[in-house]
Structure 1
């Protein structure tokens, strides 16, 4: 990884963690409003979504909206054998009872022994550190989403969720393994790629 990308990651992590609780709640509401108007999300039945843990756009209201709309909700779980993500369907009860295990990397995962391939999903809501005007996404650095999506390049519809400052006007260097997103939603805009 070049030093510029390392410095960018560090800076964006710090900015994301510095977002106040009030601003996080406001951003969550604004992103949900943007997402609710998105046709691909409206018609999706199987939605993959992350549990926020590191200052990302919070997903509590999105998950509640999915359940209220009769959508099936799937959470990512890291498969230790190949370091890909698999997707585990959760119930509303599981979510409200917070029936999750703590992964060593710091995030929560559903408690399950098996999950489904990402191609099962209609829409995938993805966290990120940054995204440029071509849909190139910088994640946290583990490569889990890139590895997973490389095995299903045409599905599902990929939507990145980000704070306004995470959308970059300058172009990022896209590596051969990088999996771009189709749409970025921020509290103030939607960007299609």
Structure 2
């Protein structure tokens, strides 16, 4: 199946989740992440604010970690420090982001990157929205060696995704029922 067709199908399935089911599934993923040694040992975590019923990571943000969130600048992601109570704005895509004036965090300082996905497969490849922001980030020398975890709902964890030469494999995938290692 073509990426664009698969993306539409899974996004539709995700949008059809009731608020209760979406939040319950998201909370299960957060619980699984919190119990992971990778998460527990990380100090600086790059994350994202949920958009269009992506996995909601909000329960994690009150934990004693240094959090950074992306802003889309041209074709790249710029990471800004954020803590609960800091202001957010919506970017041109409608995604909540830290203010431009928030301190910038270099990718090299991250211990862990929680990656939003539309879908992931058993080989730990991800399907995103098609903009290439995370593929460019993950292929950069700045991110070499930083652990990545794709977060995705079970129904979007598939046997095999269509892929292109530029797609980057993740280190781990976390769903509401599984934490998949290499």
TM-score (norm 1): 0.87
**Equivalent-residue separation in structure 1 for 2:39 and 2:149 (angstroms):** 9
Q: Give how far 1:37 is off.
A: 1.6
**Equivalent-residue separation in structure 2 for 1:16 and 1:187 (angstroms):** 14
Q: CA RMSD in A?
A: 1.5
Equivalent position to 1:175, from 147, 164, 172? 164
In the alignment, which residue of structure 1 is the partner of 2:60?
A: 62
In the alignment, which residue of structure 1 is the partner of 2:81?
A: 89
Select the structure that is richer in helix.
Answer: 1
Q: Give how far 1:117 is off.
A: 3.0
In the alignment, which residue of structure 1 is the partner of 2:50?
A: 52
**Equivalent-residue separation in structure 1 for 2:162 and 2:18 (angstroms):** 30
Task: State the SS of the aligned residue for 2:3.
Answer: helix
Q: Give how far 1:32 is off.
A: 1.3
TM-score (norm 2): 0.92
Contact 1:57 1:127 in 2 (8 A): yes
Q: Give how far 1:55 is off.
A: 1.0
Per-residue CA deviations over 1:35-82 (Å, capped at 9, x if unaligned) read: 112111100000111000111111110212x3xxx21011111122xx
In the alignment, which residue of structure 1 is the partner of 2:151?
A: 161
Equivalent position to 1:9, from 7, 10, 13? 7
User: Where has structure 1 moved over 4 Å in runs of 4 or more?
Assistant: none
Contact 2:116 2:128 in 1 (8 A): yes
**Equivalent-residue separation in structure 2 for 1:107 and 1:6 (angstroms):** 20
- Map 1:102-113; keep pairs closer than 5 Å: 102-113=90-101
Are 1:125 and 2:125 counterparts? no
Equivalent position to 1:184, from 150, 173, 177? 173
Contact 1:122 1:155 in 2 (8 A): no
Q: Give how far 1:93 is off.
A: 2.4
Q: Give how far 1:155 is off.
A: 3.0
Alignment coverage as a number of residue pairs = 180
Contact 1:101 1:108 in 2 (8 A): yes
**Equivalent-residue separation in structure 1 for 2:110 and 2:145 (angstroms):** 8
